[in-house]
Amino acid sequence: MKQSSKQAVKGAKKERRAIAAALRDELEYLEDIEFSESDTDSNSESDSDATTALSLHMKKKTRGPAKIDFVALIDGKRIEVIFNEYGQPVGRNSNRLSSFIGCLVRQMVPLTLDSWHRVESDLRERLWTCVKQQFNVDGSHRRYIMSAMGRSWRNYKLVLTRKIRALVKSNDVTRKLEALEGLKSKNIKSEQ
């Protein structure tokens, strides 16, 4: 039994080394292409194309922000969420509720507000109605859910602020576009 686990560890290490070697080879190949293009043609267009190809190839793939996909109700029933004695959601649907709240707030609450307390009461009612339509929650859990919405909204605003401040220091146009991708026209009032 020990021999097979040692062999499995050796096999995994060998596989990782092979993957790392393949990635190094591919990177060297891309660098060779970049250098050969810059040697043969001093045109800045080909240099930028090679650099762009290299940066696009090496860019880390991320999942991006979650979007609300209004969950199809199973047999017309809302999703059941269990709450513990402290009023916190627990169980297998608690993550779904949390993600839903985060997406909902990110898409519906304006970023121009100074504080979560300045959110209008009719917007809060619409948010609560959206949660109740998808999840089986009663009024006793409203306070916790509203505070979770406030935390989620503040966190989202914080992340965007950090991205924007980082962009002020950077001159990279593509980074600016990526960071501003999360901003929706609904969330920002025009100054014009």
pLDDT in tens, 20-75: 666 666 666 666 665 554 554 444 454 555 455 445 555 666 766 666 655 555 56
What is the band of 162 on the pLDDT scale with cuts at 50, 70, 90? confident
Residue 1 has pLDDT above 50, yes or no: no
Distance (Å, rounded) from C-alpha 82 to C-alpha 127? 20
pTM of the model: 0.57
Distance (Å, rounded) from C-alpha 138 to C-alpha 159? 31
Residue 125 has pLDDT above 90, yes or no: yes
Residue 157: CB atoms within 10 Å:
19
